[in-house]
Copies of this chain bind each other. A is one copy, B any other.
């Protein structure tokens, strides 16, 4: 491609609302342009990168035996009503009506469509398993679209769905996709980690893994072990069973009272006028947050439940929700707390509370603690879990913290990273096949629900993740496999006939070898050309300057601009072919 003809406008500055580096660079290089919030046009360079990513995904899906199809974006609302998701999905689901008033959704995902299709097409175990995928435009009306291609409203996804006759089959299909994902992200040159994620109602070990590209801009926090291979999403990360105490057990001393050494004192109410928060309590009485049995009220499918945790820890709502198997789960609002307990938030405690109470391990393991008295302006002290508080429902309800011991190995501690979710493998089980009636006849002629898995890759997100991980202060540094063109041929002066002749010669030779070349034939100053070249970030660069008369060029790689070399044109072609072959 001759750069003078390419629709390509580089910008010195990105618009002010572009926070993420990848968003800034996508705009500055003119790879994308915004049409509306979270809705982008891919310009020619951007389209090329997107196609490279698509092609890598397609090749690895095919290699894994998945079959490509293409489903519509317009999906009848009836399908979503049948699966029960039409209401649940909320305002992220874009809805519309056709000219006859029939309702449709613009697909954010295709479980309903694919399950209905496979139900129609496959009726016997002999036709299973099958894994189907598509690379397609998806729609999600994000409340807050941001970070360019990372959280858009119209975006490119690869979604795959597996159908197996049994759970062992699902396991095989699932891990086959897992390995394909590994190859895809490796080929894309990404630094990524598969991490355990929340599987909701399905659960089970490894029932869902998220592929995370490590990047500071990532919206997800992941916890990895410094020793073993454990890695999990923060919301999923398990709490190590042996959590170091936040100090010696010593409510007594710290609380300013003397404990009965032979036994423990009985619960004792004390006056705490207007003291509603842990901060106020620790300040007023000189105690530590870890001396307090923090109690929080939630509503789970409309029913109240209290969760108790050590005061210096945070409750992981998702863990509680999964423990209860609740569909809807949220913190109870102050009015509800008042109505249920008769006291304001801040004076609620587990002692004498006539509601279900869950204890996090950190609370259950406390020797004694302080909690609200369920009476305005009063708290209890000397509450002993197991003695005064019934420990029938104890679990891991805690959000892990950096430095916590690893839940898997003895040696490691957890370290936090930020990650961009670029892929997701998920064991769906029979959720959709049962709701939508996708059954098959087994060898004995009995109808059985198909066992499903679903597997997503954010194809457009790959672009953002790759840029987040591959850039410097001058611009993008494309991995070879994703680069819009592989080689940038830059004659320093387009007016210099010797330079242009050599440049064109190289351009044609490389193209004849099917190398993708961008020739900067623009009549611009050398400084402008180099600045643009750094910004666009093609991995290999051939600069043709004053040595052109001797048939020599300057070779450089975008990743290591210092390591320039003077080569003959023939040597340069050799080098390019070597680099491209080794990709």
Contacts and interface: CB of A to CB of B under 8 A. Distances in A.
Interface in A481-499: none
Contact of A130 (B5, B42, B73): B5
Given A99-B91, A99-B141, A99-B143, A47 B35 contact: no
A362 to B, nearest CB: 39
A41 B130 contact: no
A462 to B, nearest CB: 15
A14 interface: no
Interface stretch (A61-69, A217-225, A234-242, A258-266): A61-69
Nearest to A153: B74
Interface string A51-79: 10000000000000101111111111000
A117 B296 CA distance: 52
A364 interface: no
B154 A39 contact: no
Interface in A1-35: 5-7, 9, 30, 33, 35
A512 interface: no
A120 interface: yes
A36 B74 contact: yes
A28 to B, nearest CB: 14
Contacts of A36: 72, 74, 76, 102, 104
A176 to B, nearest CB: 13
Contacts of A92: 99
A551 interface: no
A336 interface: no
B113 A35 contact: yes
Contacts of A117: 33, 41, 43
Nearest to A94: B96
Interface residues of A, number: 55
A139 interface: yes
A43 B70 CA distance: 7
A43 B117 CA distance: 9
A67 B6 contact: yes
A153 to B, nearest CB: 7
Given A130-B7, A141-B99, A39 B74 contact: yes
Interface in A208-258: none
A137 interface: yes
A132 interface: yes
Contacts of A41: 69-72, 113, 117
A495 to B, nearest CB: 15
A146 interface: no
Contacts of A400: none
Interface string A326-368: 0000000000000000000000000000000000000000000
Contacts of A98: 94, 141, 153
A189 interface: no
7 contacts: A7-B122, A7-B132, A35-B74, A39-B72, A41-B70, A44-B68, A98-B153
